[in-house]
Amino acid sequence: MDNKVLKNSGLLLIILGAIILCLSYAFNWVDYNWVDGLALLIMIGGLIVHIIVNKRITD
């Protein structure tokens, strides 16, 4: 269980970033750059975590 959550943590961060972007559009927060920037940072962080964790699991 613990290894499965760790393996999918990067994907969960990417999905969280996408949800933040969808919510910012739904609530008309598109004029606030910090919301979009936060979602971008979360998605980039999730991509990096996904690459690093899956590389370590396969090695």
Would you say residue 58 has pLDDT above 70? no
Question: What letter would DSSP give residue 53?
Answer: H
Query: How far is 46 from 18, CA to CA, in rounded Å?
Result: 11
Mutual orientation of helices 33-58 and 2-26 as an angle, nearest 10°? Answer: 160
Q: What is the pTM of this model?
A: 0.84
Report the pLDDT value the prediction gives residue 1, as an integer from 0 to 100.
56
| 8-28 per-residue burial string, b: 16 or more CB within 10 A, e: under 16 | eebeebbeebeebbeebeeee
Would you say residue 57 has pLDDT above 60? yes
- The full set of domain ranges for the chain reads 2-58
Alpha helices (runs of H) in 1-59, residue ranges in sequence order: 2-26, 33-58
